[in-house]
Structures are given as structure tokens and as C-alpha cells.
A = this chain, B = another copy of it.
Amino acid sequence: MPHPEPTPPMLPVAEALAIVLGQIAPLAGESVSLPDAIGRVLAAAVVASDPLPPFAASVKDGYAVVASDGPGDYRIVGEATAGHVPNFVIRPGEVAYITTGAPMPTGADAVVMVEESELLPLQAGAPRVRIHTGVKPGADVRPIGYDVTAGETVLPAGIRLGPAEIGVIATVGRAQVQVHRQPVVAVLSTGDELADLQRPAGPGQIRDSNRYALAAAVRAVGANVVDLGIAPDDAGMLEEYVLRGLNVADVLLTSGGVSMGDRDYMKPLFRKLGEVHFERLWMKPGKPMTFATAEVAGRRRLIFGLPGNPVSSLVTFYLLGVPALRKLAGARDPHWHRVQATLAQPLALDGYRPEYHRAMLRWSQELHGGLGGVLATSTGNQASSRILSLRSANGLLELPHGEGVLPAGATVTALLIGEL
């Protein structure tokens, strides 16, 4: 039977996040093959060893010419095609047919595109072409190093690799790339009331949804998941599950067991295994949330003891866990981006705590007199048990604590947790 613990202080979310990020150094670099590097953060700059293009190349299909020759009829002495080095030279009075991307033959200094030429009827001797237009030296020629010079840093360390960056790395000929390791995240649910999806739910039980939602959120940021299953409300068993997680993972996410009840074994366990940095957040939803660190096998592990309510656990993971995973994976700025959003409807404030209100954000061309802006529509009933309040939410509105109601049309800041 309960004796309430002394209530720990409630920490503003920004301070809590600073504490979490202060415990983290980016994980070491590893070499991965280029196709596997998508979404990863570069651990070392990528420098071009050769210029691009490595030879002067034609930008068009047409004729390689000596620019000073000007318009007129010319003898075609060869054909320069992409991928092949011409085995002839061009002298004044001569031209060569050339295709896009082909190396310029020695002696030619410009290209006349095919639309400005006319093949002449074949007579004895070499074929001839009429060139209709004069061009300047260098016309439609991509000189050596035009796109990338030798020694140029094409990508700095710290950049996140999307499709274009993958293309840049291929362009400079790298098949392997140094990127930060992605964190391994163990996910554990706790509580006798939870039934796994693989079994029928017993009387008094509900489905465990947190583990599935958290694992999906971990995968969505590119990290790797270890599923620890559901631990029962038993101190010894819990310790076993938690140690298993700390042995295999950089980060342990637990949900449940961190509120004030006498069945909450998590906090004493975290204190036993490591250091507890904070226990309560000054926010709605998700007040009870423990952050701890533990040294295991010579490495610092992060422990997020998330609340049991589905909304609270996912929202607190978004606010503190996602930036933590991003920093571990090497991101230079691990924070969520903020936008200003216009409320589509009035929203009541909480008198005691700032609220992260789940909302659908979309661009509206009509806002601000046609300048456009972000319109925020609430996902409805924000009860912290009601995971439907996160359905289709791509934003968390940062509502201040206070009296009364924010009217429709008011501007609030919002964290963009999904695509706009």
C-alpha cells in the first residue's frame, strides 16, 4: 500500500533536452557501400581526386569545329562518340561529328549543334557538312573540371546523405563511404496488463501498442531496433530484461512503470544500474518520464523510461528520443524544426503545464492575405490514452500554459514531426 514519494521537480522540456543531448557523443564512423549509405550522416568529408569532366566534352550532338573557321562547307574527318577517345585530330578546315558527352578531338575548340548544320550530298572523297553559324571558342564544350575540380570537397562531414548526395559520391568514384554508425535501440514494454499481439488478451489486459509504435518511430529515423518484448511487474524479471537491453543496445526505451504507484519498479532499477538525470517533465501529455545513463561494457547507454500511456510515450519519445538518436547518428543539428502555424479553430490552454497539442499541419495558399502559411487543425480529443489523437498528426503545437482559450487565427509555434 502506497506512501507517496516526495514529488520530484518538473523540468521544462528544453532543459530536459539539453541534459539528454549533453550526455551524447556521435557514434564512431564505419565504412558502408554506397547504396547502403542513404539516410546516413557522413563521418568524413568526400573529396574529389579527379576533375569532372576528366576531359573536355561536348554538351550537344553536332560538329566539333575550329571556332575561327566560321560558317561554310567542311570536310567531316571522323566521328567522336561518348566513351571513346578520338583517334584523329582536327585541323582548320575540318570538322568531326560529335555526340553529347564525347571527348573533344584534339584541335577542335567548339561545338556547333546539329540543328545548325546540313549534310551535303555525298561526292567522291570524304563526306561534307554545311555549317550555318559561327560560334565562339568554347561554345557547347564542357571544359575539364567544369563541374568538379580535383581536390574539391564535394560533401562536408556531417551532411545527411539523400539521393543527390549519393549521386555526388558516385560521380567522384567512391564505392564505399565513411558514415556514423546508426544507434541500436532496444524497446521494452512493462506491465502485467499488457498482452502481446501474438496471444489472446487475458481478462483485465489491454494490447501493448507502445512497443510497436516506438519501434516504428525508431526505424523511421533510420536506427535499428531490438524488440525485448513485455516484462511482467516483477522487480527481478524487470532487471533481467533491462540488463539484456543494455548489453545489446546503445539506447533502451521502456514504457510504463514510471509514474507514482508502488508497483513502479523502473526508477529504483535505473538508480541501481546507473544515474537518473530527471524524472518528470513540465509538459502535457507525459509528465512522468525518467532519463538515465548507465556504463555497460565500457560504453555509455542511454535509458528513456517513458510513460505507459500511448500518446505520452510517443510524444515524449519524439521530443527527447528522436533528437538523441539523431545526435548519436552524427547529425550536426539534431533538433526538430519549428514553424509558425495559424490555428484553424480555438484551443483551450492548460492552466498548469505547456501542452504539445497534436495537429495536422498543411500549407494554405490563402493565409496572410495570399502570402501563404501553415494552417493547424487539431486531431481532436487530446486524452493521453487516446492514440487516435496522433493519427495523421504531422505537427506538435507548442501551446503555452495559461488561462483561457487561444482563438482561431492565432499564431503558435509547431514542431514539424512529419511531412508538410
A81 close to B (CB within 8 Å): yes
Question: Smallest Cβ distance from A279 to chain B, in angstroms?
Answer: 15
With contact pairs A38-B216, A314-B164 given, residues A233 and B191 touching in the complex (Cβ less than 8 Å): no
Q: Mark A283-301, 1 if CB is under 8 A from B, else 0.
A: 0000000000000000000
Known contacts: A114-B4, A371-B373, A420-B339. The answer to whether A167 contacts B119 by CB under 8 A is: no
Bound form: Cα–Cα A386–B119 in Å: 32
Q: Is the CB of A175 within 8 A of B201?
A: no
Please classify the interface of chain A as helix (H, G, I), strand (E, B), loop, or mixed, using the class held by over half of its residues. loop
Known contacts A83-B194, A198-B175, A373-B372; A142/B385 CB under 8 A: yes
Min C-beta distance of A60 to chain B, whole Å: 9
Q: Are A97 and B2 in contact, CB atoms less than 8 angstroms apart?
A: yes
- Per the bound structure, the CA–CA distance linking A172 and B101 in Å amounts to 58
| A82 touching B368 in the complex, CB below 8 Å, given contacts A147-B388, A167-B310, A259-B61 | no
Q: Do A340 and B365 touch (CB < 8 A)?
A: yes
Interface string of A148-175 (1 = CB under 8 A from B): 1000001100010111111111111111
Q: Which residues 161-206 of A have a CB within 8 angstroms of B?
A: 161-175, 191-194, 197-198, 201-206
| Distance in Å: Cβ of A203 to nearest Cβ of chain B | 5
Is A108 close to B, CB under 8 A?
A: no
Q: A192-B83, A387-B164 are in contact. Are A208 and B170 (CB under 8 A)?
A: yes
**Bound complex: CA A11 to CA B212 (Å):** 46
A227 to B33, CA, bound (A): 14
Do A99 and B215 touch (CB < 8 A)?
Answer: no
Contact (Cβ within 8 A) A119 B1 = yes
For the complex, what is the distance from the CA of A91 to the CA of B206, rounded to whole Å? 27
A373 to B388, CA, bound (A): 30
Partner of A97, one of B1, B81, B173, B201: B1
Say yes or no: B387 contacts A363, CB within 8 Å: no
Report the copy number of this chain in the oligomer: 2
Of residues 211 through 266 on chain A, the ones whose CB sits less than 8 Å from some CB of chain B are 211-217, 219-220, 225, 227, 233, 259-263
B197 engages A34 (CB within 8 Å): yes
Q: How far is the CA of A117 from the CA of B280 in the complex (A)?
A: 22
- Residue in chain B with minimal CB distance to A39: B220
On chain A, which size bracket covers the interface?
35 or more
| One of B103, B174, B215, B386 near A147 (C-beta < 8 A) | B386
With CB as the reference atom, state the residue of chain B lying closest to A385. B147
* B213 & A392 in contact (Cβ 8 Å cutoff): no
Asked whether, in the complex, the Cβ of B385 is within 8 Å of the Cβ of A146, the reply is: yes
CB neighbours (8 Å) of A329 from chain B are: none
Say if the beta carbon of A66 comes within 8 Å of chain B.
no
Query: A416 an interface residue at 8 Å Cβ cutoff?
Result: yes
Residue of B nearest to A206 (CB): B53
- Measured CB to CB, the residues of A under 8 A from B are 1-4, 34-35, 38-39, 52-55, 59, 61, 76, 79, 81-85, 97, 99-103, 114-115, 119, 127, 142, 146-148, 154-155, 159, 161-175, 191-194, 197-198, 201-217, 219-220, 225, 227, 233, 259-263, 308, 310, 314, 337-340, 362-363, 365, 368, 371-373, 383, 385-388, 390-393, 411, 416, 418-420
Nearest first, the 4 closest Cβ-Cβ pairs linking A and B are A167-B213, A83-B192, A164-B390, A83-B193
**Besides the known contacts A81-B263, A171-B206, A173-B207, 7 further A-B residue pairs in the complex with CB atoms under 8 A apart:** A1-B127, A82-B192, A83-B233, A148-B388, A175-B197, A175-B198, A420-B420
